């Protein structure tokens, strides 16, 4: 059973998946920082500094200054702003991933294209074409 487990782990699919998950987690941190630290401030600049994450409705009794205060009080909160920010972040992340995949595909296509492709050289008429011309010329001489 241990040997079967070793064989399973040693297969390429499992190792590729593990590397993909690790790289994906690291990439997630980079994209999260890109969105939170660079793109969201630009969006806030164009929207007049509006931070949607503070937009919420209290579903219970009382008034609270923030979502955190309402949550600490144990009151249910309908956090519309956090959802809107999650959607915006998703769209930004999806666009960044799309651009990266597009760039990787372009690089792969350039790598697959042969560099030393010789241009086609017109070698003239084929042997069959020459023989047909000779035949036609002989026929024309006989008729004339």
Task: Please state, as a whole number, how many other Cβ atoms lie within 10 Å of the Cβ of residue 77.
Answer: 19
* Sole residue written with tokens 């993909």: 20
pLDDT for 40-52, tens place per residue?
A: 788 778 877 766 7
| pLDDT for the residue numbered 102 | 92
Angle at 95 between CA 87 and CA 36, to 5 degrees: 55
pLDDT surpasses 70 at 88: yes
pTM of the model: 0.52
């Amino acid at each position: 059973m241990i040997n079967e487990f070793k064989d399973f782990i040693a297969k390429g699919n499992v190792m590729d998946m593990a590397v993909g998950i690790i790289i994906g987690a690291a990439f997630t941190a980079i994209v999260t920082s890109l969105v939170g630290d660079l793109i969201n401030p630009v969006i806030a600049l164009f929207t007049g500094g509006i931070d949607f994450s503070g937009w919420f409705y209290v579903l219970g009794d009382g008034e609270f200054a923030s979502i955190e205060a309402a949550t600490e009080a144990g009151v249910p909160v309908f956090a519309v702003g956090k959802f809107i920010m999650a959607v915006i972040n998703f769209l930004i992340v999806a666009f960044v991933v799309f651009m990266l995949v597009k760039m990787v595909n372009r690089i792969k296509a350039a790598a697959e294209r042969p560099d030393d492709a010789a241009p086609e050289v017109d070698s003239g008429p084929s042997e069959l074409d020459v023989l047909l011309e000779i035949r036609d010329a002989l026929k024309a001489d006989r008729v004339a």
